[in-house]
Amino acid sequence: MSEASSTATSKPARRVLLAVSGGIAAYKAPELVRALVRQGQTVRCALTRNAARFVTPLVLQTVSGHAVRTDLFDAEQEGEIDHIALADWAELVVVAPATADLLAKLAHGIADELVSTLLLATRAPVLVAPAMNVHMWDHPATRDNVALLRARGVRFVGPEAGFLACGWEGEGRMAEPATIAAEAERLLGAPTLAGEVVVVTAGGTREPLDPVRVLANRSSGKMGFEVAAEAARRGAEVVLISGPSSLATPAGVRRVGIETALQMRDAVHAELARCSVFVAAAAVSDFRPAMPAKQKIKKEALGDDGGLVVELVRNPDILAEVGAGDRAAGARSEPKAGEVQQDGRTRRLIVVGFAAESEDVLAAARRKLERKRCDLIVANDVSRSDAGFDVDTNAVTLVWPGGRDEALPLLPKRAVAAQILDRVEQIRGAR
């Protein structure tokens, strides 16, 4: 019986891809696989050609219980699981050991063999355990690559200081397999939202003025995408309803692309019957041109210096509809919005809204909380340059019913997403 199938665990298995590159520390990879399998994770391994000189695929196959991939273009291996499917399969990618060469490839988007291609293709978080000679680790090129990767959200564990296999002493030794496995477990997080269906709206909507011009806003979608990614990491089924955005769809998330507020509303309503947590992070246009022109509006047709007056009509407030339990006509036989059928019981939907304001932030957020009947409003001051639109950090205040406010410090949007979902779990626990 393989190591993998002999391990009993009560937690659902998480999917870890272990990428091994060609350093002497690769001999510790089987021990790392065993540590991950003991946690209850499902582990698949991919090796660079040089890694396979230090550790045999057969050993890793035996301890992981899965065929090991070593070659990008091997038809048999691609038939088992193709490399894109493998990159998509992973909920976490652990690179151990990570050589200086592999870090450079990852930092610069080089995909010239199996492992570097997997790292470019995956949307899962990446945990890197570097291992190399102390001078290679200290080299400015490696330092710059590490800084670049850290800034992009790649996590590092180690390297540690000590005697190195190359004979030198210093920083460069791979972290112990038990340390790497513990960090992996922490990053995977507990599946605390398993069983929940989380619907997140994100990004800005675009309202057509004519076939080429739109009324849009500055939302990048980053905050909503982070909430969706974090909910998926916590084991929820996640639907991300997003306006146009160049951001990659987070791993394990179903994305529904929309353009206009009316399309977003339809997409939300289509998911409501199953949704148990609704997070409205989108910047929805409050107005749309009443009559978008069928052809491109030509300035010549407006006279020499004639202006253009566009009549705008109100868009529906999607969040307020969900909060109020209002539904599109024709869907009334299903559970009302604001309610979820679970285990034969009716349970209220958890509704989280956002309030991006440039003045009187908290007072405006409180009015929204009440008017849109939310369980929580995430308020942010968009007049700050380090919070709000198109930046990676956000400084928010959580506004609760009953007059309580909770100000969070300036945090990466990923950490803000985690804080929001912690509160969602708290609301669920209190019911």
Q: How is residue 369 written in tokens? A: 């909380």
CA distances from 92 to 125, 392, 413 (A): 5, 21, 19
Examine residue 368 and tell whether it contacts ligand C5P (CB under 6 A).
yes
User: Given the complex with ligand C5P, which of 253 and 284 has the nearer CB atom?
Assistant: 284
295: phi then psi, degrees, rounded to nearest 5: -115, 160
> Residue 63 is inside which H or E element, if any?
helix 57-64
To the nearest whole angstrom, how small is the minimum distance from the Cβ of residue 265 to ligand C5P? 8
Examine residue 241 and tell whether it contacts ligand C5P (CB under 6 A).
no
Is 275 a catalytic site residue? no
Examine residue 199 and tell whether it contacts ligand C5P (CB under 6 A).
no
Nearest to residue 239, comparing CAs of 258, 221, 252, 226? 252
The catalytically annotated residue of 45, 166, 275, 374 is 166
Examine residue 353 and tell whether it contacts ligand C5P (CB under 6 A).
yes
Determine the interface stretch with ligand C5P among 142-150, 188-196, 317-325, 336-344 (rule: CB under 6 A).
Answer: 317-325
To the nearest whole angstrom, how small is the minimum distance from the Cβ of residue 425 to ligand C5P? 20
To the nearest whole angstrom, how small is the minimum distance from the Cβ of residue 405 to ligand C5P? 17
User: Given the complex with ligand C5P, which of 81 and 262 has the nearer CB atom?
Assistant: 262
Give CA angle at 353 (349, 359), nearest 5°.
160
Assess whether the previous peptide bond of 97 is cis (omega < 30° from 0): yes
From candidates 101, 207, 317, 381, binder to ligand C5P by CB under 6 A? 317
SS3 of residue 192 by DSSP: coil
Examine residue 284 and tell whether it contacts ligand C5P (CB under 6 A).
yes
CA distance 234 to 214: 36
From candidates 36, 184, 200, 280, binder to ligand C5P by CB under 6 A? 280
CA distance 190 to 15: 13
User: Given the complex with ligand C5P, which of 57 and 292 has the nearer CB atom?
Assistant: 292
Single-letter code of the amino acid located at 196 = E
From candidates 69, 354, 361, 375, binder to ligand C5P by CB under 6 A? 354
Examine residue 417 and tell whether it contacts ligand C5P (CB under 6 A).
no
Nearest to residue 87, comparing CAs of 124, 36, 61, 126? 124
User: Given the complex with ligand C5P, which of 126 and 214 has the nearer CB atom?
Assistant: 214
From candidates 55, 318, 349, 424, binder to ligand C5P by CB under 6 A? 318
> Residue 139 is inside which H or E element, if any?
none
User: Given the complex with ligand C5P, which of 28 and 255 has the nearer CB atom?
Assistant: 255
Taking the CA atoms of residue 304, residue 305, residue 306 and residue 311 in that order, the dihedral angle to the nearest 10 degrees is 130
From candidates 188, 282, 350, 416, binder to ligand C5P by CB under 6 A? 282
User: Given the complex with ligand C5P, which of 118 and 361 has the nearer CB atom?
Assistant: 361
Q: Are 241 and 201 in contact (CB under 8 A)?
A: yes
User: Given the complex with ligand C5P, which of 20 and 322 has the nearer CB atom?
Assistant: 322
CA distance 301 to 50: 68
To the nearest whole angstrom, how small is the minimum distance from the Cβ of residue 59 to ligand C5P? 51
Strands (E), 117-168: 126-130, 155-156, 160-163
SS3 of residue 348 by DSSP: strand
Examine residue 215 and tell whether it contacts ligand C5P (CB under 6 A).
no
From candidates 129, 146, 215, 319, binder to ligand C5P by CB under 6 A? 319
CA distance 142 to 148: 10
Give the binding site for ligand C5P (CB under 6 A).
201, 261, 280, 282, 284, 286, 315, 317-319, 353-355, 368
